[in-house]
Chains A and B, each alone.
Chain A
Amino acid sequence: MKAAVIVFPGSNCDRDMAAALEKVTGVKPMMVWHQDTELPDIDLIALPGGFSYGDYLRSGAMAAQSSIMRAVKLKADAGVRVLAVCNGFQIATEVGLLPGALMRNAGLKFVCRDVGLRVENARTGFTSGYTKNQTISIPVAHHDGNYFADAATLDALEHSGQVVFRYTDNPNGSARDIAGIINAAGNVLGMMPHPERLIEPELGGIDGLPLFESLLGKLH
């Protein structure tokens, strides 16, 4: 599997993402700078966590306008898988790859801890390594993770199985406890929790590993 990790100024989970991808695929992913304009033939694009542009204006708003995002959109429209985690999820909503927006946490505090997630849809290319309704524990670390969309959009997401992960104990006020969603085509997953941080027993657990193994299983 050939993967690319997009690096924005202020990304800080890009190397964790690269390490996770390398562990599962055995191949180092390409690190692609945000000012690049083209992507080679690849199977997966990762938009990593961090604080691109210092969260100026709105989290992810500036990164969404960077030149590489035009190339990412073209690839996503052509069916290439995109894994958007944390700040990556914020960027994906800002650029229109995913519906809704991520707002300031309802409790106003930065939340950095493990949270329980329920796998709502295990029939995606990102989650086939889990079982439906399985509960997993994955760390979150964000200030703006409060998922918002209007009621019609939320209903549409629910009805089409696009809500992939839900918090078991909502840490940020997200509408309908939503922690992760997938686009209608099924190739773009956005989630606030960090699966790439939980792939080694030495680091506290491996609940994030099946996500990467799912991707690999599907792509090989």
Chain B
Amino acid sequence: MKAKIYITLKNGVLDPQGKAIEGALHGLGFIAANHVRQGKYIELDVAETDAAKAYASVEEMCKKLLANTVIENYRIEL
């Protein structure tokens, strides 16, 4: 089962890279772009057939390694 994991910075956590990307977009004339936030996308195969088990397993991975829950949120799609 393929899992797709989206890791994003929590609201209120400063994102200097997002700000730099926003500045570059504005420099290119994309002045409509605002509030740019950069995150991570990870995909992996889980050796589970049961969706609930797969989700629980991926959630453990997020908590233990893939995301730092002090600063990041994660969202899992199976």
Q: B16: CB under 8 A from chain A?
A: yes
Residues of A in contact with B, size category: 20 to 34
A interface, over-half SS: loop
CB pair A100–B16 under 8 Å, yes or no, is: no
CB pair A106–B14 under 8 Å, yes or no, is: yes
Residues A36-83 near B (CB distance < 8 A):
57-58, 61-62, 65
Q: Which of B29-37, B50-58, B61-69 contacts A (4 or more CB under 8 A)?
A: B61-69
Contact of A148 among B20, B65, B71 (CB under 8 A): B71
| Chain B residue contacts of A11, Cβ below 8 A | none
CB pair B13–A103 under 8 Å, yes or no, is: yes
Q: A104: CB under 8 A from chain B?
A: yes
**Also in contact, A104 and B65, with CB within 8 A (given A148-B70, A149-B70):** no
- What's the minimum C-beta distance from A55 to chain B, rounded to whole angstroms? 13
Number of B interface residues, CB 8 Å?
11
Cα–Cα, bound, A101→B69 (Å): 10
Closest residue of A by beta carbon distance from B69:
A101
Contact sample, A vs B, 19 pairs, CB 8 Å cutoff: A58-B68, A62-B65, A93-B70, A94-B68, A99-B70, A101-B70, A101-B71, A103-B13, A103-B16, A103-B71, A104-B17, A106-B14, A108-B16, A108-B17, A146-B14, A146-B16, A148-B13, A148-B14, A173-B16
Binding site for B on A (CB under 8 A): 57-58, 61-62, 65, 93-94, 99-101, 103-108, 146, 148-149, 173
- Beyond contacts A57-B65, A101-B68, A107-B16: 14 other A-B pairs, Cβ-Cβ < 8 A, are A57-B66, A61-B65, A65-B65, A93-B70, A94-B68, A101-B70, A101-B71, A103-B71, A104-B16, A105-B16, A146-B16, A148-B13, A148-B70, A148-B71
